[in-house]
Amino acid sequence: MKFLILGGTRFTGPYVVSSLIKMGHEVVVFHRGGTHADLPPNVTHILGDRHNLNDFAAEFKRLSPDVVIDMLAFTKEDAQSLMRVCKDITSRIVVASSIDVYRAFGRLHRTEPGPPILFL
């Protein structure tokens, strides 16, 4: 399978990229180029800013990824812009985020207001 990963050079990104390569997948990483990550040599890089995803829509479409993984979505707007740009490019989008984990942790330990949120 072919994966397009937004981010992928920091935090958990390099582990995701390396794991996908080890499984035999083709990986393209879209990032700003500001972080040097120890990624496998057969990873393709596209340099750009996620705030300008529209500028890369044609390139993403040519790439034709089976799955898009967003390691950079921090806001609702981030996720919405990704959905707009990729809606005709792929049928599988994964948004990896730890934001809710931290909010839930804070609410459980009463360092953030509000009751814990349960998703069933």
Which fold, 2-108? Rossmann fold (3.40.50)
Q: Rounded CA gap, 93 and 87, in Å? A: 9
Average pLDDT, the chain: 89
Element (H, E) at 19: helix 13-22
What average pLDDT does range 24-28 have in this prediction?
98
Three-class secondary structure of residue 14 per DSSP:
helix
Q: Which residues contact 113 (CB under 8 A, 6 or more apart)?
A: 107
Q: Is pTM beyond 0.75 here?
A: yes
What average pLDDT does range 21-37 have in this prediction?
94
Q: How many whole angstroms from its chain centre is CA 30?
A: 9
Q: Rounded CA gap, 79 and 86, in Å? A: 11
According to DSSP, residue 55 is labeled G
Q: Is 80 exceeded by the pLDDT of residue 106?
A: no
Q: Rounded CA gap, 103 and 60, in Å? A: 33
